[in-house]
Amino acid sequence: MRTRTFWTVPAIAVLAWGAAYTDFDSAKHKFDEIESDRLRPGTRVELTQRELNAYVVREVPDGVRNPRVVVTAPGLATGTAMVDFGKVRRAQGHPPGWLMAKLLDGERPVSVTARIHSSGGTAQVDVEQVQISGVEIDGSTLDFLIQNCLLPLYPNAMVGRPFGLGHRIERLDVQPGGVGVVIGR
């Protein structure tokens, strides 16, 4: 006769739960901890590149496929995705007119490189380069597109200007391999 030890069922449940615990779950748990405002000053929450990418994959809007974020150097990150701008606009409840639909519809490879600075509870994201279908957009053309296309569609986008981090975040330590979130006060 086989005996069952008391820990067998709980151990199996823990192993099964652990196997189902994903990088997204880990990132979500860390974001929830930060947003709880209960972390002690000086706490550093590490988000790995895998966790960040798992989170991004789940959170992108309709019309965006295969998103990926890579921190290429300290403070420098590049995001890539396949984007159907027409589908994104429709998902936001703003279907483009006939002419704009002809320009926006269809997936295109998009790459955005940005420099992220932060300290004292504030951060700033400066877009350095955008590529759409292999066409590089930077300098004054990029500034024009941010001011006249991006910001009118996304007035809450904080590009090229400082913004508060909230939740007592002192700074973001953006490094290859991940992002360290440092809690202050």
With a pLDDT cut of 90, the percent of the chain lying above it is: 65
pLDDT confidence band for 32 (50 / 70 / 90): very high
**Cα first-last separation, the chain:** 61
Whether this model's pTM surpasses 0.85: no
Higher pLDDT among residues 15 and 88, named by residue = 88
> Distance between CA 75 and CA 118 in Å, rounded?
9
Please say whether the beta carbons of 25 and 45 come within 8 A.
Answer: no
Summarize pLDDT for 152-179 with one digit per residue, the tens.
777 788 899 999 999 999 999 999 999 9
> At residue 3, does pLDDT exceed 70?
no
Summarize pLDDT for 65-91 with one digit per residue, the tens.
999 999 999 999 999 999 998 898 898
Summarize pLDDT for 123-134 with one digit per residue, the tens.
999 999 999 999
Taking residues 111-131, what's their average pLDDT?
Answer: 95
pLDDT confidence band for 148 (50 / 70 / 90): confident
> Distance between CA 13 and CA 178 in Å, rounded?
31
With a pLDDT cut of 70, the percent of the chain lying above it is: 89
Higher pLDDT among residues 138 and 52, named by residue = 52
Taking residues 96-101, what's their average pLDDT?
Answer: 87
Tokens of residue 141, six digits: 């053309």
Given this model, what pLDDT does residue 93 score? 87
- 81: Cβ contacts below 8 Å, ≥ 6 apart: 60, 64, 65, 66, 67, 68, 109, 110
